A and B are shown apart, each in its own frame.
Chain A
Amino acid sequence: MYEIIEGIAEAARLIITLDPGVMSIAARSIIVSFTATVAATLISIPLGAAINFGTFRGRTSLINLIQTLYSLPTVIVGLLIFLLISRVGPFGFMRLLFTPTAMIIAQTVLVLPIMTGLTISALSGVDTVIRDTLHSLGATRLQFLANVMKEARFAILTAVAVGFGRAISEVGAAILVGGNIMASSFSGSTRTLTTAISLETSMGNIPQSIALGTILLAIALGVNLVITRMQHR
């Protein structure tokens, strides 16, 4: 119990003194997960819209598949990306392994199913009355989509929040494709809050682990405050 309190106190100390090591790890977590979430959003919203409003064979099966992928383990995603970008893999020539870019790619792939699925459910939740009204007012395809999304924005922003949450809290993929490297340069290092917590815990440094965990939650709180504000516009 005492260690948890010690950890929170340590977190406060690290933040107030702007401890450079911790700041760079936190910044990296934010950058990697934020970029991955944005990338996944840009893909999943159009994709979700296309699937939701599409009428093609296998649509239900596709939605089932997407929902099954909600349970995709992070290590499996990490392993798959690792195999693809390892030097002997198909994309080995891009030299992406053990770089922050690799972590962004892995987290984007990880978060894609859940954001797509939640977008689909958000859009399908829009009242048919509204949809019919849009059609009857003569909305073009684009206008229709834009307006339906506006109606569903609360649920879609929830999807973004969930996506970011999943990205910033995952360890498996980040460790496998990133390597948890602490190098002397910012861009050469691949240690994030979660991989650092994993390392500190395995070394038995409990207060440091809790401190890092507290910082991660503080970041998540900040991001979600922003999203909540956007939801209530």
Chain B
Amino acid sequence: MQRRTIFAVAAVMVAFLLICGCTGTTTDPTPVEKQQLRIATTTSLDDTKLLNHLSSIFEEQHNAEVLIISAGTGKALEYGQRGDVDVLMVHDRAREDTFLADGYGINRRVFAYNFFILVGPESDPAGIKGMTPEEAFSTIREKGMADENIVFVSRGDASGTHSKEQAIWKGAGFDYAKDIQGSGDWYIEAGTGMGATLTMANEKEAYTLSDIGTYLAYKGDLDLVTLVDEGDILLNVYCAMQINPEKYPDVNSELAKDWVNFMISDDTQKEIASFGVDKYGQPLFYAAQNDWAKIGVTEAEVSVPIA
């Protein structure tokens, strides 16, 4: 009797696996092991599904498998530093520079940019619509300390977006650790990705800083509106770089190189420029190819393929 039950269980499991094999996902590699490319990227890049879209194209062209691990920029940099991935795709210029200087990354290429926006409830209790980012931040803080209905939700997770937020606080003349963090109930640190943070801000009818890509991707589910979208400080530049094979000889540097070159290739740049237009009415990202001067990088970084 016991044997029959075990047999039944085994049969169900085998059936299950067969169903999965037949209905769906592509077949597993046959004799030649398909190469795998591990990419650590930010939630704001992954949540928009841009990478999923691009990786399917890449996978076909290179007969490889792209594994995307999305985490905050801080965590992604950590993975890169430990050699656990082959490519890093982040959007924090300052930390990228340090990463390159320390020798963990090589061959940075800039492939896309967009802008951060300050979003909040339509009622805009703090009245920040149309202000500059720095002014808006100051106002939210000032009024938030007096009015418990005015709240700012921060990423609070060492991500690229969080870095940008801190830069804006600094630009507004505040010391982040002393004047902002823990300064009152008006300032909440979510500790989650961009999508989750937007969801939280939506729930609390609060203000938050978001990249435009994720915001548009979630807009259908949110009641938040764009209140501040102009200001040089809101520029958001995305780069891709290889993990240095000299530090970690095990990384798949050939495929990593191919991926980075793929990102700055003409076809991909066109894909990026048109991504999301049919769904959202505007592109989620701008191709970096022609705007290198505008975004403050060198022409080489947007157009010269890695040798």
Contacts and interface: CB of A to CB of B under 8 A. Distances in A.
A18 B19 CA distance: 8
Nearest to A226: B9
A24 interface: yes
B225 interface: no
Interface residues on A, range: 35 or more
Contacts of B94: none
Consensus secondary structure, chain A interface:
loop
Given A98-B38, A184-B59, A203 B65 contact: no
A184 B20 contact: no
B9 A188 contact: no
Interface residues on B, range: 35 or more
A30 B24 contact: no
Interface string B150-167: 000000000000000000
B97 interface: no
Given A23-B20, A202-B193, A179 B67 contact: yes
Interface in B27-41: 27-29, 34, 36, 38
A104 to B, nearest CB: 15
27 contacts: A20-B23, A20-B24, A23-B16, A23-B20, A23-B24, A27-B16, A87-B83, A87-B84, A92-B83, A97-B84, A98-B84, A180-B69, A181-B69, A183-B67, A184-B26, A184-B65, A185-B26, A185-B28, A187-B28, A189-B25, A202-B193, A203-B199, A204-B195, A204-B218, A226-B9, A233-B1, A233-B2
Given A87-B83, A179-B67, 10 more contacts: A18-B23, A23-B19, A23-B24, A27-B20, A86-B84, A180-B70, A182-B52, A185-B27, A203-B195, A203-B218
Interface of A: 18, 20-21, 23-24, 26-27, 30-31, 34, 86-88, 92, 95, 97-98, 179-189, 202-204, 222, 226, 229-230, 233
